[in-house]
Amino acid sequence: MNWIRQKIDKIKEPFEPGQKLEKYRPAINALDTFLFVPDHTTKKGSHIRDAVDLKRTMITVVLALIPALIFGMWNAGYQHFNQLGETPAFLEAFLHGAYKIVPMIVVSYAVGLGLEFAFAIMRGHEVNEGYLVTGLLIPMIMPVDIPLWMVALSVIFAVLIGKEAFGGTGMNILNPALTARAFAFFAYPTYMSGNKIWVSEASTVDSISGETILGSLAANKEVAYNAAEMFTGVIPGSISETSTLCIIAGALLLVLTKVADWRIILSGVIGAAAMGLLLNALPSMGVEGNGLTNFAWYNHLIVGGFAFGIVFMATDPVSAAQTMKGKWIYGALIGLTAILIRTLNPAYPEGIMLSILLLNVFAPTIDHYVIEGNIKKRKKRLEMKSVKTA
């Protein structure tokens, strides 16, 4: 490995401080540190450090996304051929999906990382690894037929307005990937919602319906899928959100490695189930409800983007609540509002995106009250003491 190292050190020479390409150091460093963990040593304080770093953490999230991504590629192809009345081989379906989805990932990474590098160079800090996850999440939550230029625009909006405007990684209020999706959703609604977009080429081929389960429920139509299909994910939807099974596989990796906080996921599921149960009980309380409110509460957990959102988006540590108690409240409220928006707002058949963004905004407020609790304990102790001495 030594000769590789020497080669890299040679390439890096013009980027050293005092040399003419010094400005571009963050860019070359970002590439170098992907090959080698740098030889930096501690200066003071703790002389030893844990093996974990942000790269390792972020790559773990990317690993957790892989099952859902692969399934998403296959499912995109399968839905397309299935609605045409064909039964595709695995590879045929997968390649059809990959042909659509890989370019989206390339565009997302190229545009997003380009911006991240530019900001790192401009601000003179190292490139943060957060975009490795964001850049993969953005295509995964888009409809399969979205034009690439829309992906690019959404990425630009998410990185510039969602993240860098707030000061960069670690400072953003909203989840950047959802910011991208929300931008596309409101800017190009015809490409992001409706009945004709959820299956590959549904808008051009008449025989493909391309309606999601939540879409048909909202229109009070019969659902043509059973619970097993909803759970495994062989249904139309955004690219990678359909398979609850693959999402659970990713969730297990995230929870076992403690990269994502289990509290948020668990409380989110509890919140959603509670809201589902409440809505299911409406008829017994004499309220008629609609197709969505009468949809069994456990089915609510496995259709739509709920599972994907609660596992991969709600747990984004930067935009989530940061205190332990806060995480419980934050997760539960996401679950409650997601199902509430889904069932009671006719304009949005799915609610998870908006509910996470809403709670992102409220997360600092939730934290504020938890922190106040800690502060109050301290003040009370001081008062007790002054009472005793008085």
Contact positions with other proteins (CB under 8 A) in 245-264:
256-259, 261
Can residue 37 be called a binding residue for other proteins (CB under 8 A)?
Answer: yes
Stretch that binds other proteins, among 41-49, 75-83, 300-308, 334-342 (CB under 8 A): 41-49
Instruction: Please state at what angle helix 352-389 crosses helix 324-344, rounded to 10 degrees.
Output: 150
Q: Is 35 in the site for other proteins (CB under 8 A)?
A: yes
Rule CB under 8 A: is residue 48 a binding residue for other proteins? Answer: yes
Contact pattern for other proteins over residues 148 through 187, marking x by CB under 8 A: --------------------xxxx----------------
Q: Among residues 318 and 339, whose Cβ is nearest to other proteins?
A: 318
Q: 387: which 2 tokens?
A: 């009472």
Residue with tokens 């230029």: 149
Residues from 102 through 141 that contact other proteins (CB under 8 A): 126, 128-130
Q: How far is the CB of 57 from other proteins (least distance, A)?
A: 6
Count how many residues are written for the chain: 390
To other proteins, the closest distance from the beta carbon of 151 in angstroms equals: 24
Residue (224 or 324) nearer to other proteins, CB:
324
Residue 46 sits in the site that holds other proteins (CB under 8 A): yes
Q: Which of 12, 24, 28, 59 binds other proteins (CB under 8 A)?
A: 59
C-beta of 57 vs 82, nearer to other proteins: 57
Please, which of residues 70-99 interact with other proteins by CB under 8 A?
none
Establish if 286 lies at the interface with other proteins (CB under 8 A): no
Residue closer to other proteins, measured from CB, 29 or 195: 29
Candidates 138, 151, 320, 332; binder of other proteins (CB under 8 A) is: 320
| Binding positions for other proteins, 196-255, rule CB under 8 A | none
Both tokens of 359, joined, read 């709670």
Which whole-number Å values give the CA distances from 62 to 130, 245, 370, in the listed order?
Answer: 10, 17, 31
Give the Cα separation of 302 and 231 in Å (integer): 6
Q: Would you say 113 or 302 has its CB closer to other proteins? A: 113
Sketch the per residue contact string, 327 through 366, with other proteins: x for CB under 8 A, - otherwise.
x---------------------------------------
Tokens representing residue 157 in the block: 């909006």
Question: Phi, psi (5° rounding) for residue 33?
Answer: -70, -10
List Cα–Cα distances, 233 to 120, 160, 197, 225, in angstroms. 39, 33, 17, 10
Contact 267, 260 (CB under 8 A): no
194 contacts other proteins (rule: CB under 8 A): no
Structure tokens at 179: 């910011």
Instruction: Report whether 245 contacts 231 (CB < 8 A).
Output: yes
Quote the least distance from Cβ 71 to other proteins, whole Å: 21
Q: Which is nearer to other proteins, 34 or 99 (CB)?
A: 34
Q: What angle do CA 142, 298, 334 make, to 5 degrees?
A: 55
| 97, 72 contact by CB (below 8 A) | yes
For residue 334, give the nearest of 365, 366, 359 by alpha carbon. Answer: 359
Mapped onto helix, strand or coil, the DSSP state of residue 78 is helix
Sequence-ordered list of residues with C-beta below 8 angstroms from that of 305, at least 6 positions apart, any chain: 141, 237, 238, 241, 350, 352, 353
Token digits of residue 330 = 């934050």
Interface residues with other proteins (CB under 8 A) are 1, 4-5, 33-57, 59-60, 63, 126, 128-130, 168-171, 256-259, 261, 317-318, 320, 322-324, 327, 371, 374-375, 377-379, 381-382, 385
